[in-house]
Structure 1
Amino acid sequence: MNLTCTKQQLVEAVSNVQRAVSSKSSVPALEGILLKAREGEIFLCGYDLELGITTAIEASVEETGAVILNARLFSDIVRRLPADTVQLTTDEKDVTTIHSGNSEFSIAGIPAAEYPELPVVTDESSIALSHTMMKGMIRQTIFAVAESDAKPIHTGTLFEIGEGVVRLVSVDGYRLAIREEKAADAVEAMNFVVPGKSLGEVLKLLSDDEESKVSLQVGRRHILFNIGRYTLISRLLEGEFLDYRAAIPASASMEVICKTRDFIESVERVSLLITDRMKSPIRCVFDTDEISLSCSTAIGRASDQFTARVSGDPVEIGFNNRFLLDALRNTEGDEVRIQLNGPLSPMKILPREGDAFLFLVLPVRL
């Protein structure tokens, strides 16, 4: 292998692909990045048997070839190279020389034949969405993905596609997040669950360009996201996802309209007395034209209040401060609509108008 490419493109490609590489594996090849010199380009791949990220950048290739290089070491080297161009050469023993300006490194590589093959997505269904739509939908649901794998299916987000609608649903036993958008294309109905870790990487690759499209190709066991020059492949989660519709309260005895920023800042203030060691729920009292918040820990007591438009019977209810903040911070809009049904029923958070998103936060007994 013998090629020359620009440092900037190489650094960006390596840092993105590296995120799919195993940090610790019994298979040394999985701790590396696969590099393939092809005609006019260099192909890079990171894969940890569950998530794979690939890309290709322009290169002047004198000799084709392939090698696996330790991801952490290769990334550290290319980021610190002094010149704008980088030359990579590999000999018959896979020793790779990295040359840039006055710097030169020779590092031991691993034969490319030892790299596992990426899954192939066949019999796929596909849909294309704008980068901004996909980014917003993932951002507004990923916070409610379960972190523990007591129910592995809930460590992912459910995609429901059909009838001109794309819906994402995340649930972790304490809260629920639903985000819905109209799909411009008529697509066949499909349901699948993508791991939260994979969606976190998709989020980092998406741009803020409304014109750019991300295409999703869904197979039986894997999904492929094509994002610009990057391809991300992830396994799909299997199992029975929660019947989330049954968890949403059908009616509400109280409805509140309030400024999102006022609610967030009030929760943040009373949360100053809550620490990992000093846990305590936040007591919320929804009364006529006012929401009062308070909390009490071994450190002391705090209370705060702000104005809101409240209609219905007064409610006193407790919440985990972090879960409440996560939901409020992921609303889009200056105002939110909150629906309550007594102190033991979950809080429903909706947009001021419409139903583009729905967040449920379960209460804590006071």
Structure 2
Amino acid sequence: MKILCDRKELVEAVLNIQRAVSSKSSIPALEGILLQTKGSDLFLCGYDLEMGMTTTLPAKVEQAGSVVLSARLFGDIVRRLPGDDVSLSVDEKNVASILSGASEFSIAGIPAEEYPELPSVSGETSIEVPNGILKSMIRQTLFAVSESDMKPVHTGTLFELSENRLCLISVDGYRLAVREEPIACDQDTSFVVPGKTLSEVLKLLPDNEENLALSIGRRHILFQIGSYTLISRLLEGDFLDYRAAIPASHTTEILVKTRTFIESVERVSLLITDRLKSPLRCVFDDNRIQLSCSTAIGRASDELEAQSTGGTIEMGFNNRYLLDALRNTECDEVKIQLSGALSPMKVVPKDGGSFLFLVLPVRLKSGV
């Protein structure tokens, strides 16, 4: 194998593909990146048996071939090369020579035959979604994905396709995030994509209205994003019946400026740390919200204006969960809907119903 390619393009491809490579595996090849010539392109692949990522970049191919190189070492080398181009040649013993400018490296590779084959997705369901819309949908639901393995299916986001709409749902036992958009689709299906996969999709997605293609099989999903293909296993299990968890009605509704509310919560939260945990006390009163907290190092309180209808309600919240919900609204004003001190807080947009966030309250001790 002998190729010549642009260093910047190679660095970008390697840095992205590296994220799908297994950091520690009983199969040595999985700790590497598969490099393979395909016509006049260089094909790169990273795979950790759960998720795989591939891409191609233009190259001057003098001799076809393939090799697996250590992702960490190869990535470190190409990032530091001085020249504009990189020459990569591999001999019959899988020793790779990397040349750029005055720098030259020689590193041991692994035969490409030892690299596991990526799963294939027979496109039982295929849809197209604008990049910008899917990026926004993932960003607004990923924060509520569970980090605990207690119920593995909740470490992913539920995708629901029905009646020309796509809905994403994440839940972790303390909060719930629902985000939906109309899309052209004539099929009804649902599946759960791992949160780790969606974080990588988020990094690859550009902010434009071009479409990306999703192919959904029985056990895997494939995202085609520009020159990148990302394939991932789907999670199995019974996802929470999220519709039953959403309060059907509310007794109090507050319209508040999102940025003002976030800044107030951040100020009062200065006394709350991982070591000094304390609920954030919120009093939703006549056209105002009063916030306070008390920890071993002191007390803090703040107040902000809001438009409210309904009675006064006093509730306690985990400050981080409340902030996560507010920061991910991506709008200037939000409606807070409440139906009691121990019922979930519902956060919805001022107009329309593109998202819905639920934050479970914590029980307050009297006199705190």
Match of 1:75 in 2: 75
Q: Paired residue for 1:313, among 311, 314, 318?
A: 311
Residues 175 and 323 in structure 1, CA contact (< 8 A), matched pair in contact too: yes
2:240 counterpart SS class: coil
Cα drift, residue 25 of structure 1: 1.1
Cα deviation per residue 1:269-299 (whole Å; 9 max; x = unaligned)? 0000001100000000000010000000001
Verify the 8 A CA contact 2:161 2:185 in the aligned structure 1. Answer: no
C-alpha distance in structure 1 between counterparts of 2:128 and 2:319, whole Å: 37
Could you tell me which amino acid in structure 2 is paired with residue 59 of structure 1?
A: A
Per the alignment, residue 200 of structure 1 pairs with: 199
Please name the residue that 1:190 is paired with: 189
Q: Normalization by structure 2: what TM-score?
A: 0.98
1:160 alignment partner in structure 2: 160
Instruction: Identify the residue that residue 220 of structure 1 maps to in structure 2.
Output: 218
Spell out the pairing of 1:46-195 with structure 2 (5 A cutoff): 46-183=46-183, 185-195=184-194
Does 2:17 match 1:17? yes
CA drift at 1:320? 0.1
- Structure 1 position 199, deviation (Å): 0.2
Match of 2:246 in 1: 248
Residue 45 of structure 1 corresponds to 45
AA matched with 1:303 = S
- Partner of 1:20, secondary structure, is coil
Residue type of the partner of 1:70? S
Tell me the amino acid that sits aligned with residue 106 of structure 1: S
- Paired with 1:13 and 1:123, the residues of 2 have a C-alpha distance of 26
3-state SS in 1 of match to 2:230? strand
8 A contact 2:165–2:185 mirrored in 1: no
Q: CA deviation at 1:145?
A: 0.1
> In structure 2, what is the Cα distance between the partners aligned to 1:67 and 1:187?
43
CA deviations 1:83-141 (Å, max 9, x no partner) are 10000000000000000010000000000000000001015210000010000000000
The separation in 1 between residues aligned to 2:226 and 2:335, in whole angstroms, is: 37
1:326 aligns to what? 324
Q: Secondary structure at the residue paired with 1:316?
A: strand
Q: Is the 8 A contact 1:166 1:181 kept in 2?
A: yes
Structure 1 segments, 4+ long, off by >4 Å, are none
What is the rounded CA distance, in whole Å, between the counterparts of 1:63 and 1:39 in structure 2?
Answer: 10
Alignment pair present for 1:295 and 2:300: no
Q: 1:186 Cα deviation (Å)?
A: 3.1
Please say if residues 123 and 215 of structure 2, whose CA atoms lie closer than 8 Å, have aligned partners that are also in contact. no
Does residue 283 (structure 1) correspond to residue 281 (structure 2)? The answer is: yes
Asked whether the equivalents of residues 168 and 180 of structure 1 are also in contact (C-alpha less than 8 Å), the reply is: yes
Which consecutive residues of structure 2, in runs of 5 or more, have no partner in the other structure? none
Contact 1:127 1:187 in 2 (8 A): no
Alignment coverage as a number of residue pairs: 364
Amino acid at match of 2:189: M
Secondary structure, counterpart of 1:144 in structure 2: coil
Gapped regions of structure 1 (runs ≥ 5): none
Deviates more, 1:114-123 or 1:312-321: 114-123
* Deviation for aligned residue 1:38: 2.2
**8 Å Cα contact 1:332-1:351 kept in structure 2:** no
Distance 2:5 2:330 in 1: 42
Instruction: Report deviation, 1:187.
Output: 2.5
Residue type of the partner of 2:232?
Answer: S
Counterpart of 2:341, as a letter, is P
Q: Which residue of 1 aligns with 2:231?
A: 233
SS at match of 2:322: helix
Cα offset for 1:317? 0.1
Q: Structure 1-normalised TM-score?
A: 0.99
Give the 3-state SS of the residue equivalent to 2:323 in structure 1: helix
DSSP-derived class of the 2:169 partner: strand
Shift of 1:213: 1.0
Residue 24 of structure 1, CA deviation: 1.1
